[in-house]
A and B are shown apart, each in its own frame.
Chain A
C-alpha cells in the first residue's frame, strides 16, 4: 500500500532548495559568532538567510530574530511586547499563542517568564466561519493598552483573518498586534509592512524547511527582552548559537515557497475537488464561507468521531489529522471548531492539508477513499 501524505499543516515535505541549503550549511564548520575565516563564512550564511527571510515577508533584516521554531517566536513576541499590556487573543489561535498569553494567569502574580502582563487575557471571538469579530475587537481595545494576538491563517481550518483591518484598529487604539503567520507563510502573500502588524512569527518546517527553525519578524526595532538569555546573539534578543543548517533551510524554503505563490491555483483546485466529493458524501466543510488557505480543508462528518475517521484513513494509506499535531495525542474536541460554535461537529472533523508537492491522482484517490469511508461510517452511526 502506498502512503499518501496529506498533513502538510503539521509538517511540509522538505523542499529541494531547503535540502541543498542545509547540506551546504552542514558541511561548513564555523560558529557564526567566531571572527576567524570559518566563523565569517558561517556568519555570511546566517545573514544571507536573514535577508532572504526578511525579503520574503516584507520585513527589514535587522528586524528578523531567529528562533528554534514558531512556538518560541510566538512566546518571544508575547514576552517581549506584552509587558504591562493586557493580552487579547483570538479564540482560534494555536496553543503556542493561547498557552503563552494565558500562562500568566496560571501564576499567582500574572507574570509570564518574568514579564508582567496586565491582567488575564481576553478572548477575541470568531463567527461561525471562524473569522475574528472586528466589532468585538474594537470594544476590547477600548478597555486599555493591549497586545493583540491574531493569526493570519488558522492551522485547522485554513481560515484567513482580516489582519490588516485588525492592525488598523490596533493602531487607532495604541495597541500592538502580533501575528502568528506560521501556517500562512509560503501559502499566501505575507508582508509585515503591508499588514501593518508589529510582529509576525514563522516556522521553518511549515514552509518546507526543517523542524527546529523559526523567526520572529519585528516592525521597526522595538526593545525586546530575551526569553532565552546569554551570549548576546541575535542583537541580544535571543541567546544561543543559531541553528545554522535549519535556518538556512528555512530561508531557502521560504524563497521557493514565495516564488511559487503565483501558481497556487492547481492546489486549490485539488482541494476543491476533494471537498465537492466529501460534501456529496455527507461531510460539512468548516469555515466554508470564509477566505481560506488553498491547501487546507477541515471536513466534519456528523456523528462520526474524528479519531475513528483518522484511523480508517490511516489504514487506507492516507495521513491526515484530527487537529493540530501537538494535541493529536489527546482526545479533546477541537477548540477551534468549538469557538466557531460547531457543537458536536467539533469532535467529528478531520484536517486534510495538501503539501506543496501534492499530486492530482493522490487527491482523486483520497476523495474516493473518503467517500467510501463516509458511506461506511455514516451507515454505522445512523
Chain B
C-alpha cells in the first residue's frame, strides 16, 4: 500500500476543516473590513455590525429561531457555561428557591463541570446514568424532576458515540415539571434538523468549528417567548444585550454564519453521502476484522460517527501503528488522558473494552478513497497492534 502524502482526517467530532467557502467570506475581514462592530458612529463600524447581523440571521435560520434569540460567544464551551451557570445565578438573584439542575453522565465535560461546580454556589447537581445504547431513560428523568428543578440539560448528539437524544420528548418532560430545557447541540447543529420551536428548546449551544466554521466562535440560543433570563458570566462593555461582554469577533462570526447557511442548504445531502461512506467503512472493517463491535444505538445516531471496539488490539497501539490516520480514543479535550472514556463507562463497557475502542468521525470532506485507505490502514494496524496487546484472558 502506498501511503498518502497527507494524513487522512477521520476525527470530525474533534474539529472539522474550515470550509473553503467559509474562509472566502472571512477573508475581506482580514483586509479592508477590520472595523469594530460596536463603532456605530462610523461607516466601517456599521459595515461590520451589518455583517454580524446577517450572520445572526443565518444562525437563527438553522435552528428555527428568531435572530434576536441568538447570542454570539467564543464557542460551545462558553455557551454551555453561560446557559447553565447563567440560569442558576439568575435564579439566585431573583429569589427562586429551586436549586436542582439535572444532566446526564455522557455530557461533554464543560456541561458536567458547569453543573457540578454549581454545588459550591448552593445548587444541587443531579447526574443521571444512560442506558447501554447511550439513550437517556425518560423514567429516570421524570423521577429526577419530581423535585422542583431549574434546568434539564441533555446534549443533542453525543461527541463520542454519536447518539441522538429525543430532544422534543426531554423538553416536554422538563416543561411538565416546570423546568427549562437546555441542549448542547455542538455536535448536532448542521448534522441533524433542529427546530427550537417544534422541539420547545429553551437554550441551545452551537460551536463554529464543529460545523466547518472557524474555531473561537459559537452561539447560544436564548428563548424570548417566554423569555429565559440569564446572568452573564462576566461583564464589561455590555455587548449582546448585556449577556456577553467583549468586542464581537466579526470575522469569526461571519464565518460561523456562512457555515450555518451552507449547512442549512446542504445538510441532508451531506448526511446521506456521509452515511454511505460510513456503511462502506463498516462493511470493510467487519470483513477484515471479525468481531469489531459498534457501540451505542446503531440506528439513532449521526451518520458521521463510528465508535468501535476492536477485538484484539489496544486503541493506543492501533493509533501508533497508523500515524497517517487521524482518529481518536474519545473526546479531544481528554485525548491526552490515560483514563478510560467516562462516556464508554457510562454505557457499561469494561475498562478493557474501552481501551480497545476508537472514535472515527467522517465529515463533509471525506472521500471514498479516504475511506478505503482508512479501512486498509485499520486492518493492517489491527494485525500489528494485536500482536503487541496482551489478550484479556
Contact = CB atoms under 8 A, between A and B. Distances in A.
Contacts of B332: 31, 33-34, 39, 241
Given A227-B233, A324-B237, A212 B252 contact: yes
A14 B251 CA distance: 11
Contacts of A241: 15, 75, 77, 207, 209, 215-216, 332-333
A229 B336 contact: no
B14 to A, nearest CB: 4
A36 B89 CA distance: 39
B52 to A, nearest CB: 10
B77 A325 contact: no
Interface in B303-332: 319, 323-329, 332
A5 interface: yes
Interface in B188-238: 207, 209, 214-217, 233-238
A31 B15 contact: yes
A95 B324 CA distance: 48
A13 B234 contact: no
A228 B233 contact: yes
B109 A319 contact: no
Contacts of B236: 71, 74-75, 94-97, 99-100, 326
Give me the 8 closest cross-chain CB pairs, A-B, nearest first. A243-B216, A230-B110, A212-B249, A326-B237, A240-B77, A75-B234, A68-B74, A71-B246
Contact of A321 (B7, B39, B77, B250): B39
Contact of B11 (A23, A38, A231, A324): A38
Interface in A218-269: 227-233, 239-247
A328 to B, nearest CB: 5
Contact of A39 (B14, B42, B76, B93): B14
B252 A14 contact: no
B216 A230 contact: no
Interface stretch (B30-38, B173-181, B263-271): B30-38
A322 B45 CA distance: 13
Nearest to B214: A245
B326 A36 contact: yes
17 contacts: A12-B34, A29-B9, A30-B15, A33-B14, A37-B326, A71-B234, A96-B236, A96-B237, A211-B247, A228-B78, A239-B110, A240-B76, A241-B75, A314-B41, A320-B42, A325-B36, A325-B38
Most chain A CB within 10 A, of B31, B216, B328, is at B216
A230 to B, nearest CB: 2
Nearest to B234: A75
Contacts of A239: 77, 81, 109-110, 113, 333
A22 interface: yes
Contacts of B335: 33-35, 39
A40 B112 CA distance: 26
Given A96-B236, A108-B93, A319-B43, A242 B216 contact: yes
A332 B56 CA distance: 28
Contact of B39 (A100, A114, A325): A325
Contact of A326 (B209, B247, B319): B247
B234 A243 contact: no
Contacts of B85: 113-114
A79 B234 contact: yes
B36 A19 contact: no
Interface in B120-178: 120-121
A26 interface: yes
A80 to B, nearest CB: 11
Nearest to A327: B237
B279 interface: no
Interface string A6-33: 0100111110001100110011011101
A307 to B, nearest CB: 7
B183 interface: no
A329 B38 CA distance: 7
Contacts, number: 301
B83 interface: no
A223 to B, nearest CB: 15
B91 to A, nearest CB: 13
A99 B113 CA distance: 26
Contacts of A129: none
B41 A19 contact: no
A3 interface: yes
A90 interface: no
Interface string B44-71: 1100000000000000000000000000
A213 interface: yes
Nearest to A99: B235
Interface string A47-89: 0000000000000000000011111101110010000000000
A100 B235 contact: yes
A314 B43 contact: yes
B245 interface: yes
Nearest to A103: B235
A311 interface: yes
Nearest to B328: A34
B23 interface: yes
A16 to B, nearest CB: 9
Given A11-B247, A107-B93, A322-B41, A31 B14 contact: yes
A33 B14 CA distance: 9
A18 B30 CA distance: 9
B109 A231 contact: yes
B237 A113 contact: no
A311 B45 CA distance: 13
A205 B75 contact: no
A310 interface: yes
Interface string B89-128: 1000100000000000000111111100100110000000
